[in-house]
Each structure stands twice: as C-alpha cells, then as structure tokens.
Structure 1
C-alpha cells in the first residue's frame, strides 16, 4: 500500500507532473473568489464549458473527482481534451486510499474504529482519548504504531516529536508505547497545556496501575516525556538542533531545586508540570551564535540516536526536519506528515503570507528541495497552487453527493468580491473570516456582514439584477472549483515526490504511505525513511 518507486520512476513521474501541471496554471493559480471579477468561466475551453455547465453536483463528484474506474454515464459526449485532463490528473497522483490488509494486519478502518461512538476510538486506550478529538485519536494511534516499528528496526528507544502541540502523540509514544520522548513546540501555551495533560494522565495511571489483568489498551510505561519550548530555525545547523535536545536531557538528569539554578518555564507551567517532566525554554539560533560542535570523542550517551517525527509539521518545518535527518548522524529514521504547503518558502516567494520574516538561504527552500525537480522546466508551484493542495478532496466530493446547501458559499463570496473590487480595487482578495452558516443567509445579509469586515459601508448599494445574474451561476462556480480541486492531489504528489527525490539524492530510500483515512485526515501521507546502517 506504500509508494516506493525506483529512482528512475521518481524522476520520470516528476517530469510528467511538471509537464501536465504547467498548461493548467490558469486553473491551479486562480482564486475562486475572483470567479466573476476575472471571468474565470470563459478561461475554460469552449467545449468544456458546454458539457460541464449543466452537470448536477452528483455528476461533478462522480465524473470529475471520483478516481474509480467504474462505468461512467455522460449526459453528453465529452471532448477528448477534458477526458485526458481528468484521466491524467488521477493517474499521476499518488493513491490516497489505503487498502485494508487481509487478516487485519492493517487495523480496522475508521468506520469500524468509531462505529460504537463517533467521538471515541475503540482501538485507542481510553486514557489517551481524554482531550483528544476523533481525528487526532485516529492519527496518533496509526502514526504512533509506525514510529514504534521504526524504533524497533533501528534499535532506538528515543523519539523526538517536533511541533508537538498539546502533546497527544507524545503521550501515546511515551506512556503507551514505552519510548523515551522529547517534544519540541514553539508555543509556550501549548507546552503548558501538554504538561498539564501529562500530569492528568499520571494521576489516572496511579489509579489504574495497580489493577490486575489489565487489557492491552493500558499503557506499558510510566516514563514521562520531556518538553522543550523552542522554535526549530530552518537556517540553523543540525548541531544547533541537537543543542535544543541536549538542554532537555540535562534538565531531566539534574532537575533544578529551590536552591539551585532555575530554568525559565512557560507562563503558568509551574503549577501544571507532572513529576519528572520539565519544560525547557530554548531557542535554535543561527549557527554563528548557538552551535555545539559534536566530535567523535564526545560520549555517545550525550546525544543518543533517535527517530524523528512530525505530525502535520507546518510549512518549512517538514523540509527542515528532512534536512536534519539527512545531515545529523544521530537521526536514524523519520516519519514526516506535512501540511500547509503554501507556507513553504520558494525562490519566487521566499516569505509567503503567514510566515515570520527571516533571511532564507536560497539553496534551502521548502520547495523544491531536490536538484532534479529544481532543474525541470515548469516545476514552479504558486502559493495558490500549493494552498489548493491542502484542500480536502474527499470532503468536497461528499458535499457534492449530498447536494449540501453550503456549496453556495463560494458563489456568495465570489459575488461579494465583485462589489468589493468595484468599490475599492486595493481591497481585492481581502480576508473575510468565516461567516457562520453563510449559506443559510440571504445574499444581502451575507454582503452586509462581509462588507463591514473589510471596512466598507455595510449599506453599499448592490445592483439586484447583477446579484441575481451571479447567483444563477452557482453551478458554474462549483464546476470550476472542482476542476481546480482535481489538480490538488497532483500538486501534493509533486511536492512530496520532490522530497523523496531529495532523500534519494542524499543516499536514502524512502516510502510514502497513505497512513490515515483521507475522509478523517485529508493530509494523510507519511514519508518514511531509514538510514542504511553503517558497518
């Protein structure tokens, strides 16, 4: 069920993807909110327009987004160019579904996992479900088991969890799977919450630890994780990264006492840290100001080998972890689950919206990482194309099949954008936070709320005939969005394939596993790699 093409197959697929995606940049780079203001519909080939404009939402899901190869009944003959577009988009994208293994080796599907209770996974111990939403329950169970397999294969009992958030995966790895875990998270508040939840789990363990005949869902270890408050700097060396981890190790070996030196803790964490767990504030400074050079004479126990993991590490963080995996001799394996591809740095857009300003090394962008993809004509992926690759294809197909009223939201926003652009061209693509239950509101009320959010008069005159003409085109908006969405898996495949090729260029084979159910977790691929053991 994993994707592990050969080196030649990887290069060929990358070439095919860039060749395919380049001509359709007008789709992947377009903003659906500008459907009317930039007349997106008429950017499509004329024959496409004629056969697509009258499709029902069910037909859009079945004929465009469905990857299956069952019999398709077309309302009218489709042009070969459209058939080729759909077939190629599906064929070049890595399969997002994971077929269940015979004999139950792959575990139950989420439909069974949450059959008895939609908010409680039946396959995860109850002690790990507290404070954890179903999506995260599914993810930490599946990824935790995979990390444990890598630890067994590499003879490592140590894991570093980067971007650990509230520590849900960290706790499962540590208390549930018996691993020694150091968690790094930049947000002080999240680390404080993680420490608080650690303490609650320890209390629960004290109540259950003495019970006999414990089920297999009861944790196997009481070893608490170590928490590091720190930002993993993409420009810093792997030595600086190890320094962050060493700081955590030292604190746990020699905990501070009232009379000894104190460590700065997150606000409020003094009351919530469990015994044996320490939150350490560190920072990964550039190489010139924070670097500890490791030598062969240094004791091995100071920096033990470990497996690196990142569950939905945002933007450049996933790329940074892969570089540390390649360059740091202490990292034996990695499981990387990426997200927020639009926040990765590129040569054309080194500081995308949403990222803090920083000086990026032009040779170390988040995309492309590999020399091969970087040398291909047409490899460029715009911010919008990468943002589109983060959309949930399966969820949108489900809404299409259900005929959800929420489908009109795109049309509402596109109509509103037309009036905003006419009144204030400088406010185009202005961010309008989600308007609750927008699809249930009359457009005039939706517009009143939206205009106020961009600083325009809520009573701005709206031409009723123009509004009516735009709202009648809701189906075209849905079709156009679906065409762009069809490219999303291909764009994601190119980003992840680039990372696989980067690893291959550095002497490491990797696999791409659709580990999570895409209906539960849209960013369901995990990139798995082990370094060859040196003799």
Structure 2
C-alpha cells in the first residue's frame, strides 16, 4: 500500500488550461453552428450507404478527390490531426479543406501534450505496458489480478487524480458510482488509503467485487506477515452498496443510499466470497433477504424482531432503497434530515453510462457534502434529450413526466446548461451521439494497415439492400456482430445475416449487383471516415455543455485527456472542485 501511495504522490496529473466562461460559451456557439451545418453527415447510418445513395449526398466537388484516396491517405489527410505531411494527390476544394480543418480545430485535444517518449501519444500501448503487454509496470501485482490492461491503465491514472483531489479538499472519503467489479474501488481504498463507498446496480458484480476484496486482503495479509508488518488491512476495506442511482431522485435520496452502507456493517470479506452482513450487531444472511419488500422479506423481518439485537429501536418493515436489506428505525430519517452529520466526500465515476454521468454532476452541484468530482463519461447515445427522451438501451424512465407529457428540460442528459439549450442547432441526434463513442485512433490504425476489417461496413450496407428488397419495412435491423465477418465471402456473410432477421438464408443474390457494390468499398470507407471526423466534435460539445452547466452553478472545471486515447478511447475526465 505504501508503494502505491508513494507513486501517487510522485506522479502529478497535469491539468489543461481552463476556459473562461465567455470562451466556453463562444466555443459552444461555434460547435453547434458547425455540427448543425453538417448534421447530414453525423446523422447518416453507414449501413444505408447504398439504400440511401449516401455517396451522392456529398458535394459534387468532393467526390472525385475523395474516391481516389488510398486507405493510408484517408488516415493521414482526413482523420489524423497531428499528421504534418499534407501531400495531396490532387487539388482539394476549399470547402473540403475548411471542413477538415474546422473539425480538428473545434474538437478538444485527445492527448496530454506534456507526455513524451515511448508509449506517448501515437503508440498503441502506454509506456507502462512495453515490457509486458498484459501487466502495467506501474501498478502493484495485487491490483492487476482479474483486471484487463486497459482497466489497469485507467484505474491507476484516475486513482492518482482522485487522490490529488482528496488532498486538495482535505477530504479522505470517496464515493465510486457504477463501480462494477470494484477494480477502481480497491485501488483507491487498499492502494491509496482512502475511505471508499462503492455503488453498483448489478448485484452479481457487487458480489464479485466483495469476493475480489477478500482475495486482495488475503494476499496483503500474507505480504504483511512476511514483512512483520502490523498494518491492519481490514481498515481499508471498502463499503459496497447494491443499488441503482435514480436520475430523477434527489441528492437527499442519494445520500440515503450511501447511509445504507454505514447502517449495515460488514465484516471483512473472505477470499471465497462476501461476508455476512450485520445489522447493528445482528447477523443477516444476504442470501435470505430478497431484493424487494415481498412477503418473504416481511417474514424475515418478523423473525429478526423476535430476536434480541443491539439496536435500541425496533426494526421496521422497510427495505433499504439501495441494498434492499432491512433497516433500523433510527437509520430512517426524514428526507430533509438525511444529510445531517454525513461526512463530506469526493464523487467519482469511471465510464458512467448515459445519464448517470449527468446525474452525478447534478448531485455534485446540489449536495453540500460533495466537495469534488471526477467524471469519465461513456455511452453518449443513451443520454436523454428533449427529442429522444427514451433512447434505446435506457433501463428506466430518467425523469418524472410533467403535465404536458414531457420531462423537465433541466433533467435531460443533454443539454444540461441553459446556454447550450438556447443555441440554435444544438440538437444532437441518437446517431450523432452514438458516433461520438467510436474509437477514432483505432480506425486510423486500420486504415494505415489497410486491414481487411474495413470491408465490414460495405458488407453490412450491401446486406441492407437485399433485406429491404425482401422486406421494405425492415429497416436497420439489428443482426449483431458476425464473427470474423471480414474473412467471409459476401455470400456466406449474407446467409448468416439474413437468418438473423428471419429471412430465407438461401435467398438468391444478383451476382452482378453484388460485384458492383463490392467495387464501391473505397467510397464506403471514405464516407464513414467523414462521419468519424465529426465524432470528437460531437463529444466535445456534450462535455463542454457539462462544463458550462457547472460554470452556471458557480463551479469552475477542467477537462483532462487523462488516458492514452489509443488504449482507452473515452479518455476525458471532467474535474471540478467546489470553491472555499
């Protein structure tokens, strides 16, 4: 533990320069104007390349210069902002040059400019993985177990940043939302000595996190015995709460969830699995108490009431809103008093999906106990908007409906700020937000390597034409990923794809038509690259809107490209700390 803490103290995260409020607003205005001008690109579905004749939606002056580009030229001349050798094979129209230059200029830089040397921006792997591609040389081995290299890189970098924020705010408590299997939580608690509460909606992941906690504690205890160290490892054990952070709930309800981790005490987990929960001295079998206030729960509560336990108050027939365990009467407070005596904390979320990142920012602004926040977002397509209040993949309605039938604008995931909401053309479609989740750096590598993977978009676009021929009402049907599709002849790919949408797999395909479309693969790749050029711009607008939202609420923030973008595409962390 001391090694990790020492490393965290030595490695300081270099923050980017923050924007003034006026600069943020001006950039938002330019972003919305640019994106609304080219929304026909960001809103285009590449699988409709043939059915919607997308190639001819491009300006006629662009088409001849773009279709002659080789794949490496597409990477160098279009997508890679850092590439300096601009040897154009032909004269490009000024409108195309302006489009490319503006897209690169408006997007937030995705790399830390101070990083140098091997493993710095441009390389696939960070420097910490040069000796061993699967194990970070900067992370102690006990924190690498069960953790993939990408996650090792992320938890170490974010953990150090959270520790810095804790030091700056003189706050030792952290709440990790969307904690999953608890990899970041363990590094923060056992590695950096912070007091951590972890919240995760998936109960199976919570059980796994507790099991991994036990394995790590067992390993640490063995190391301490070898070193004759008297450190009590159990004091660093994180608290886990199984519960969904409801985007439409108040911050007081959120604090109630956090209280649940304190009112139900927990012994140290074992290497084989979670420990038994204790309710003020009374042991509760977590396998017996169900996840909702059912008859079985009430019967269990009744049996608990009949036993002698240390709590002075009688147990109520109420189930904790977060972990669904029975709670004591003295732990149930009126909502207005829930926060009394609650300790201050730092809020963090590593790749909090969809509206969850926006929810955490709202709790940060509203809750007096949240001193700072580090927010790493993902899954922008699951963000709610006025035009798309229930996007695909949304588990539950995020907001309370108003009498008019629509949700309150302030509760949408985008836009969050009043300023962006008032800008003409600020709307971002589901497709534009989905595109913002793509890995630009990975596609650049494919282009430079002229990878066979590049043919998959062409295949899917071709398949779409035959699907619609057979069933015109069947549009953009989900066929999921076909394993190693790029290695298959199109006839085999089509056979597998047609079966997934319940069409005859042996449906005849016109061979001349197939060959004519295959010859347009280069055009498909160019068109997709144009849409991908807009992906970082869309992401920048979503994140800038959140910065402006914080600014409107009196909090300055900074956006840090914390992770290596070649390794972790969603690499931005929004960092904010309340003044005073």
TM-score, L = length of structure 1: 0.91
Matches within 5 A, 1:24-173: 24-68=38-82, 70-100=84-114, 110-173=125-188
> How far apart are the structure 2 equivalents of 1:435 and 1:395?
19
Do 2:110 and 2:571's aligned partners in 1 also have CA atoms closer than 8 Å? yes
The answer (yes or no) to whether the contact 1:240–1:284 under 8 Å persists in 2 is no
| Alpha-carbon distance in 2 for matches of 1:267, 1:202 | 26
How far is the alpha carbon of 1:65 from its aligned partner? 0.3
Q: 1:259 to 1:97 in 2, by over 3 A?
A: closer
Post-superposition CA distance 1:266-289 (Å, at most 9, x none): 9999xxxxxxxxxx963399xxxx
Partners of 2:445 and 2:520 in 1: how far apart? Answer: 21
Q: CA deviation at 1:478?
A: 0.3
1:20 to 24, 34, 56: 34
- Aligned-partner SS, 1:47: coil
Gap runs ≥5 in structure 2: 1-14, 268-276, 292-318, 325-331, 400-406
Describe the shift of the 1:380–1:299 C-alpha distance in structure 2 as closer, same or farther (beyond 3 A).
closer
- Please state whether the residue corresponding to 1:135 is helix, strand or coil: helix
Question: Offset at 1:431?
Answer: 0.6
Partner of 2:418: 371
Counterpart check, 1:211 vs 2:263? no
**Distance (Å, rounded) in 1 between the aligned partners of 2:529 and 2:442:** 12
Q: CA shift at 1:500, angstroms?
A: 0.1
Aligned-CA RMSD value: 2.7
**Counterpart in the other structure of 1:256:** 278
1:60-459 to 2 correspondence within 5 Å? 60-68=74-82, 70-100=84-114, 110-212=125-227, 223-252=236-265, 256=278, 260=282, 262=284, 264=286, 282-283=321-322, 292-295=334-337, 300=341, 303-358=342-397, 360=399, 361-363=407-409, 364-459=411-506
Note closer, same or farther for the CA distance 1:103–1:210 as it changes in structure 2 (3 Å cut). farther
Mapped contact 1:229–1:282 kept (Cα < 8 A): no
1:480 correspondence with 2:527: yes
* Counterparts of 1:249 and 1:226, CA distance in 2: 8
What corresponds to 2:11 in structure 1?
none
CA offset digits 1:85-144 (Å, max 9, x no partner): 00000000000011235899x99x953200111000000000000000000000000000
User: Are the aligned partners of 2:381 and 2:434 in contact in 1 as well (CA < 8 Å)?
Assistant: yes
Q: Does structure 2 retain, via aligned residues, the 8 Å contact 1:307–1:332?
A: yes
Contact 1:191 1:266 in 2 (8 A): no
Name the CA distance, whole Å, in 2 between partners of 1:115 and 1:183: 32
Once structures 1 and 2 are overlaid, which stretch shifts more, 253-262 or 190-199?
253-262
User: Rg larger in 1 or in 2?
Assistant: 2
For the residues of structure 1 that align with 2:232 and 2:50, how far apart are their CA atoms?
56
1:398, distance to aligned residue in structure 2 (A): 0.5
Aligned length: 512
CA shift, 1:210, in A, is 2.6
Structure 1 counterpart SS, 2:335: coil
- Give the 3-state SS of the residue equivalent to 1:54 in structure 2: coil
Shift of the alpha carbon at 1:260? 2.6
Give structure 1 regions of 4+ aligned residues with deviation exceeding 3 angstroms: 100-104, 211-214, 218-222, 263-269, 280-285
Q: CA deviation at 1:423?
A: 1.0
Cα distance in 1 for partners of 2:99, 2:562 equals 28
> Which runs of 5 or more residues in structure 1 are unaligned?
270-279
* Structure 2 match to 1:6: 20
| SS of aligned partner of 1:353 | coil
**Whole-Å Cα distance in 2 between the matches of residues 456 and 148 of structure 1?**
55
Please, which moves more after superposition, 247-256 or 464-473? 247-256
Partners of 1:336 and 1:528 within 8 A in 2: yes
Q: Aligned to 1:252, what secondary structure does the other structure show?
A: strand
Question: 1:240–1:291: 8 Å Cα contact kept in structure 2?
Answer: no
2-side partners of 1:257 and 1:496: how far apart?
42
Q: For the structure 1 residues 11 and 506, does the alpha-carbon distance in structure 2 shift closer, same or farther, using more than 3 Å as the test?
A: same
Could you tell me how far apart the structure 1 residues matched to 2:515 and 2:191 are? Answer: 58
Q: Does 1:527 align with 2:574?
A: yes
Decide which moves more: 357-366 or 226-235: 357-366
Shift, 1:299, TM fit: 5.0
User: Using the alignment, how far apart are the partners of 2:266 and 2:132 within structure 1?
Assistant: 42
Distance 2:496 2:53 in 1: 24
Instruction: Give the stretch that moved more between structures: 422-431 or 84-93.
Output: 422-431
SS of the residue 1:209 aligns to: helix
Matches of 1:359 and 1:236, distance apart in 2:
9
Task: Give yes or no for contact 1:186–1:230 (8 Å, CA) kept in 2.
Answer: yes
Gap change, CA 1:263 and 1:510, over 3 Å in 2: farther
Q: What are the Cα deviations for residues 173-213 of structure 1, in whole angstroms up to 9, with x where unaligned?
A: 00000001000000011111111111111111111113339
Instruction: Note the C-alpha offset of 1:221.
Output: 7.8
Q: Distance in 1 between matches of 2:232 and 2:523?
A: 53
- DSSP-derived class of the 2:185 partner: helix
